[in-house]
Amino acid sequence: MKKTFLTAIVLLGAFTISCSDDDDSNTDSGTETGTEQDAIIGTWTFTQNLVDGKEGDALDDCDKKTNYVFKSDNSSEDNFYESTTSGSDCETEKATGTWKKNSDTSYTGTYTDDIETYNVSFKLSEGKLIVEDEEQGKITAMVFTKS
């Protein structure tokens, strides 16, 4: 009888331990383990330049290579390309950093390149990643599309 009772206690204890709560979450990126990854994760390529909401200067081949890369570990890259003075090649400025989610549509990136550390504010809108800035009294927006 004691042996049966002891076996029942051991089995009950084993079942109790195996039914623990496994809901881990990752609060740094704003996503939960086992759910969809954050919408910003991936490579976003520069596709449009807006000035006060209207189409700005056309993008050249170098501009179209400019991109941001957001990784699930909250690391990020800022890869900026521009035409050289000869116009035949692209100069590249690369920066590495981190990103964080501020709200459902708002993010901040902190980057370091060869010269400085800087912050960039991003927003997601209708499947586009937008970086807005005010220059000479005009709102400029760099629009990126996920590739």
Provide, rounded to the nearest whole percent, the portion of the chain with pLDDT above 70: 76
**Nearest residue to 114 (alpha-carbon basis) of 80, 70, 69, 65:** 80
Q: Residue range 110-132: average pLDDT? A: 97
Contact assessment for residue 68 and residue 44, using Cβ atoms and an 8 Å cutoff: yes
Q: Is the pTM of this model over 0.75?
A: no
Contact assessment for residue 132 and residue 141, using Cβ atoms and an 8 Å cutoff: yes
Q: In this model, does residue 33 exceed pLDDT 50?
A: no
pLDDT of residue 20: 42
Residue 84's pLDDT band, with cuts at 50, 70 and 90, is: confident
Taking the C-alpha atoms of residue 45 and residue 79, their distance in angstroms, rounded to an integer, is 9
Tell how far CA 67 is from the center of its chain.
12
